[in-house]
Amino acid sequence: MARVKISLPEVFKFETKIPVRIQDVNYGGHVGNDAILSIMHEARLQFLDSIGCTELDAFGVGMIMSDVAIVYKGEGFRGDVFHVEVTADELTPFGFDLVYRLSTEREGKKHPIAEGKTGMVCFDYGQRKVTRLPEPLKDKLIG
């Protein structure tokens, strides 16, 4: 079976820390796959805020997620604080990818948790259609 592979850039533009909550832990006693996606979403919102926009207003356009991929690298647990790195990649005339790297530190050692990618498409919510990537957003993503 072919495995998903995510190419990580050498440099990430943004980083944040997100604590694992009890509701992030599943019946297996570790962070669930749905929680990883939710943590990536929170990191995405923080990243967008850091460049002066939101998913609904990114320099005059909205955004919609077109795809997602996650590669799990290790277990996360309640009490962990995830170090989440985010950067933009693969810009096109209508969107871009956001790439994520999640890790945590335990007993002075870094533990990889997951790598992810979300495809983001610029979207006009008023007209319900895909629209072009605005230059100011492009400048912020690559700047």
DSSP string over the chain: -PPP--PPPS--SEEEEEEPPGGGB-TTSSB-HHHHHHHHHHHHHHHHHHTT--SS-BTTBEEEEEEEEEEE-S---TT-EEEEEEEEEEEETTEEEEEEEEEEEETTEEEEEEEEEEEEEEEETTTTEE-PPPHHHHHHHH-
Q: Tens of pLDDT along 29-57? A: 999 999 999 999 999 999 999 999 999 99
Residues 67-114: pLDDT tens digits?
999 999 999 999 999 999 999 999 999 999 999 999 999 999 999 999
pTM equals: 0.95
Predicted local confidence at residue 133, as pLDDT: 98
